[in-house]
Amino acid sequence: MTVRDLPPVSDLTEQQQRGWSCVWCGTALTVGEDQDLGEKRARPEGGAAYSWFPRACSDTAACARREQGQAL
């Protein structure tokens, strides 16, 4: 599986940082219907490093469509 580069953690919602919502499209995730992208380390400028746990939709095609349809 190819993992895309993740968006900067500072651009994500708390739900996305905690793995409750898809890191790409922001949809709320259901256990078993998502993919674990593994533990990531973030180091905010001037702050302490911490771990976060991105998750994403298992249906990447549907996820990409949702992401494109999203007006940010």
Which of 72, 59, 69, 64 lies closest to 24 in space, CA to CA? 64
Per the DSSP assignment, residues forming a β-bridge with 17 are none
Q: How many Å apart are CA 51 and CA 44, to the nearest integer?
A: 11
The footprint of Zn ion on residues 33-72 (CB under 5 A) is 57, 63
Which of 60, 55, 11, 9 lies closest to 30 in space, CA to CA? 55
The footprint of Zn ion on residues 16-35 (CB under 5 A) is 22, 24-25
Number of residues forming the site for Zn ion (CB under 5 A): 5
Q: Which is nearer to Zn ion, 43 or 65 (CB)?
A: 65
Q: How far is the CB of 12 from Zn ion (least distance, A)?
A: 12
Q: Which is nearer to Zn ion, 25 or 37 (CB)?
A: 25
Site residues (vs Zn ion, CB under 5 A): 22, 24-25, 57, 63
